[in-house]
Chain A
Amino acid sequence: MARAESYKNRIELLQGTLDMLILQTLRWAPQHGYGISQALRTNSDEVLQVETGSLYPALHRLERQKWVSSQWKQTESNQRAKFYTITAEGKKQLASDHSRWQQMVEVIARIMQTEPEGKNA
């Protein structure tokens, strides 16, 4: 079980963010798991590599929370795959996640830019 634990930790670390990124990816069109991972990779200029061990648990968690729905469809290359679609609830969640994330980035940025006062390094 030791390795399962370490996977969990990584999911937790990314949790909010990964969910948001998946939802964002799904905003334009339904996509399957592989497609999502590829999209995240290309859109981040190959920087972000989501492990399947994080991606699929996240997808199944989102589905359980009814932020995405799924159905089996044919891909362009004629393969059967499970496509995820963002739901109305998911869009709401994405909006709130997005604003919270923005707030957080601003706050963190502000902190990082502030010069320490009265303290000498």
Chain B
Amino acid sequence: MRLLRWNRTRPTDAELSDELEAHLRMAIAEKVKRGESPEEARAGALREFGNLPLVREVTRQQWGGQWMHAIARDLKYAVRQIRRSPGLAATVITMLALGVGANTALFTVFQQVVLATLPVRDPNQLILLSHKSASDEGSWSTWGDQSLYFSYPAYAALRDRSRTLDGLAASAFSPVNLTTGASAEKGNAEYVTGNYFSVLGTRAVLGRVIDGADDRLHAGNAVAVLSEEYWRSRYGGDASILNRVLRVNGVPFTIVGVVRYRGLTSEYVPSVFVPMAMQHAVMEGRDLGHDRLNDMLFYWITPVGRLKPDISREMAEAELNSIWLDWHRSAIPLLHRGGDFDKQWMQTRLSLKDGSHGLQFLESYLGSPLRILFSMVAVVLAIACSNVATLLLVKAAGRRRELAIKNALGASRWHLCRQALAEGLLLGGIGAAAGLLAGSVTLRVVLGMIPGTSAMKTALSQHLDWRVLLFSVCLGLGTSILFSLGPALTGMQTDPLGALQAGSRTVIDGGTQWQGTLVIGEIALSLALLVSAALVAQTLYHLRTVNPGFAIRHCLTFTVDASALAKQSTQVRNEYDVIQGTLQRMPGVTSASYSSMDLLGDDEGGGSITVRGYTETGPRVPVDFDWVTPDFLSTMQVPMLLGRNFTAQDADSSQKVAIVDEAFVRHFFNGNTGATVGGQLGLTIGNATKTDIQIVGVVPEIHSVGLSRNATGPMLYMPYAQSWTRAHSHPASFYVRSTAAPGQLEELIRTTVFQIDHDLPIVGLGTMQQKVDGSIFQQRLMAMLACTMAAMALLMSAIGLYGVLSFAVAQRTREIGIRIALGASRVRVASVVFRRLLTLMIAGLVVGAPLAWSASRILLSFTKLTGSAPYLFAGSALVMSLACGLAALLPLQRALTVDPMQTLRAE
């Protein structure tokens, strides 16, 4: 309302001019009437009137809202300045867009991986429990932070006795097959305790959530709550879904609700939540009678609790620790272990972790690379910023005369400073906007490159939220203020008399020194970035040359899961055998086999074992299992070191056999390969320690999980036919070695598998080489991003150097002209530019060397990167010098082609 009125009553500039002109006209008219000549009258009237622009200015100041007016004028001026030198503006905006864009893109990811909190009520009150025990054994899940997994009895004790927590819930999850009607698909099930949703404070979007009545021990309700994402993607948000039946691993569940919640980790999005009491009906190994809910040594659930409002984390930690130790003590007689185990069992401690971010699995392995990349993009932005400052300083130096004249004409220093700031802010604003756009485009491209198998695919989105927007805007404004400050201060310091007297003669002053300092800083930072990027790239190169231990070339792989179709185990195995047989008969195929483990799939499957004659002294080491067909090892070209391979005679009903790798021999048989063959072992299920499996062979170690994982635990191969679990999830990964072209063979495999079973989906069909690339994708991405950033830094500092040298040449054109006219050789002239180049470059490299060295130290301490070869430093310095040399070419050529006649004439 006020604004409207203000607008209506506020006069315009045009109206004011009219009014004052009318005044003049009337004054002239009257003087003419009195008999003066028109010229005299006009001159007299003007004299009496006084300084017309000044009157207009002081009158205008009465209007109020002066500052808005001033800003508008400054902006208009800034637009004019920018349009006057579009090339410079484009360079500045491009550099800012690159700098801000890279930061925006990375911050988006950083936000999601590190900063994002769970979308629940008061996430800051949530806590996660983590334990450290001397007796820790292999846990149910081998990925993520193992100390976050607890046994159900331990959890129940903490939940029931704690007075400092406003509830302690727990969950676990597993991949499942979800069936409605005729179609089946893979999904994730989250097993939750009855208080889970009330502790988190999550309400149902539709229907109800799982509550305590659904989760009574050994008598739970078969009810399921869908996640909103699954509900929307699978059922199109159909509200009539309530009370329908959904089969989870073949077991019917009634859908009772939908929640807007993605679980504690962003890596695996649950499709369905079921009561934890129902786990026995659904989870793998259910037919083995393993009672997970009573197994004190089976660590498989993740507790999450909420602190009471006035309780600190330390207080709760003290209380929970005493409960935790009490429980451990009371459990000793039930464990029947005795001796060292009991001592280790009591050496345990509980700590509380901030639960507001959920389980940050991604953070655990993306955290450090992201932090490194973040510091790299920050450096790139700093370089961009100082580069823009350099360019603007050069421009400001060119405008000294103009500024001096303005100052002499009565413009205040503050006014000039404001104009420089306005120009900077405008450039910064456009740059930030362009950066936001560039950032989201870059992010889309990079995320698009993530292979579908990577967990990053589900966890990361290019969603730009307000935090990202705020971040980019602050970044843009902050940097623009920084880089416009230099030119603005130059404007402030302008001494009108000095600048005017100097006329068009050279003015060498602090401005030039500033530019030099900035360029030296840029070169130094770029060198540090170059070395870091080289280090990262070197690691990637090392990874690429890692020998996986099996033959990669001429090998295709894919995974199917016939058990997802609710078939009997024998049916499933028959189907796999049919597929294998068909593959072997295909043209060009030399061998085909399958195994339960997806090689290089970043998925480990294992557990603890008992070896006859071996007593564990330290903590138990988890062993990886793989069930394979007899020709698996030969297909993958893994040689037998000792003993025999599996044969078709190693069937379900015959003597159970196993082949182990050298790591296994080292750990369990003291490296004695000979003694290993013939050894007996057993899989530990609960407290069962039957050692009914005989070792028949030894093979070398292979990188089965991923190339970037250095330490794979001891490996145990067993015949697929003897696989111990009859659970429904029973996938098979096929390996086909052939001389045929991969493309053709892939097509053939697709059609063949489809002919065998119309309902069997093929997952991850591709060459083994693609698998290898996927396995080192993260490192590849990191190397690529690091190199991109180093290249950007290199380019920017080259541009900065170019700007400064051009300026130096432009300022000395006259001097050079005179020198040449006086007979100086061109070579001597060139040395003017050359000396400046060398000074800046050497100073930059000298400053940059310790910087690069400490950057490489930090990088090495942060990651598993290895090596710090001096040739990386030398190479980086060489590249930097080359870039500097290239940047100097054009100014050098300009200095050499100065026409003495022209400069002298201009004098």
Q: Residues on A close to B: CB < 8 A?
A: 1-4, 7-8, 11, 32-35, 51-53, 56-57, 60-61, 63-64, 75, 77, 79-82
Contact = CB atoms under 8 A, between A and B. Distances in A.
A107 B61 CA distance: 34
A3 B411 CA distance: 11
A32 B58 contact: no
Contacts of A77: 26, 29
A33 B23 contact: yes
B551 to A, nearest CB: 83
21 contacts: A1-B410, A11-B58, A32-B23, A32-B26, A33-B22, A34-B22, A34-B27, A52-B20, A52-B23, A52-B55, A53-B54, A53-B55, A56-B59, A57-B58, A57-B62, A60-B62, A63-B9, A64-B63, A64-B64, A77-B26, A80-B22
Nearest to B25: A79
Interface string B6-47: 000101000100111011011101000000000000000000
Contacts of B825: none
A34 to B, nearest CB: 4
Given A4-B54, A80-B18, A81-B19, 18 more contacts: A1-B411, A7-B58, A8-B58, A32-B23, A33-B23, A34-B23, A35-B26, A52-B23, A56-B20, A56-B58, A57-B58, A60-B62, A60-B63, A63-B9, A79-B25, A79-B29, A80-B22, A82-B18
A34 B23 CA distance: 5
A79 B22 contact: yes
B363 to A, nearest CB: 56
A53 B19 CA distance: 13
The 3 closest A-B pairs by CB, nearest first: A60-B62, A56-B59, A34-B26
B24 to A, nearest CB: 8
A60 B11 contact: yes
Contact of A52 (B50, B63, B411, B412): B50
Contacts of A35: 26
Nearest to A53: B55
B19 A82 contact: yes
A1 B412 contact: yes
A79 B27 CA distance: 12
Q: Which of B23, B25, B29 has the most CB of A within 10 A?
A: B23
Interface of B: 9, 11, 15, 18-20, 22-23, 25-27, 29, 49-51, 54-55, 57-59, 61-64, 410-412, 415
A4 B63 contact: no
Nearest to A1: B412
Nearest to B411: A1
A2 B407 CA distance: 12
Nearest to B22: A81
Contacts of A80: 18, 22
Nearest to B413: A1
B50 A53 contact: yes
A32 B27 CA distance: 12
A80 B15 CA distance: 12
A57 B61 contact: yes
B9 A64 contact: yes
B11 A75 contact: no
Contacts of A64: 9, 62-64
Contacts of B55: 52-53, 56
Nearest to B59: A56
Contact of B54 (A7, A32, A81): A7
A101 to B, nearest CB: 22
Nearest to B29: A77
Contacts of B25: 79
A79 B26 contact: yes
A60 B26 contact: no
A53 B9 CA distance: 21
Nearest to A3: B54
A40 to B, nearest CB: 14
Given A51-B50, A53-B50, A82-B19, A4 B58 contact: yes
Contacts of B57: 4
B60 to A, nearest CB: 8
B22 A53 contact: no
A3 B62 contact: no
B7 to A, nearest CB: 13
A12 B11 CA distance: 23
A17 to B, nearest CB: 17
A61 to B, nearest CB: 5
A57 B29 contact: no
Given A52-B50, A53-B51, A53-B54, A61 B62 contact: yes
Contacts of B26: 32, 34-35, 75, 77, 79, 81
A82 B50 CA distance: 20
B419 to A, nearest CB: 14
A79 to B, nearest CB: 6
Q: Which of B27, B50, B59, B415 has the most CB of A within 10 A?
A: B59
Contacts of B54: 3-4, 7, 53
A23 B826 CA distance: 78
Contact of A3 (B18, B22, B410, B415): B410
A38 to B, nearest CB: 8
B410 A2 contact: yes
B415 to A, nearest CB: 8
Contacts of B51: 3, 53
A43 B793 CA distance: 76
A52 to B, nearest CB: 5
A11 B23 CA distance: 20
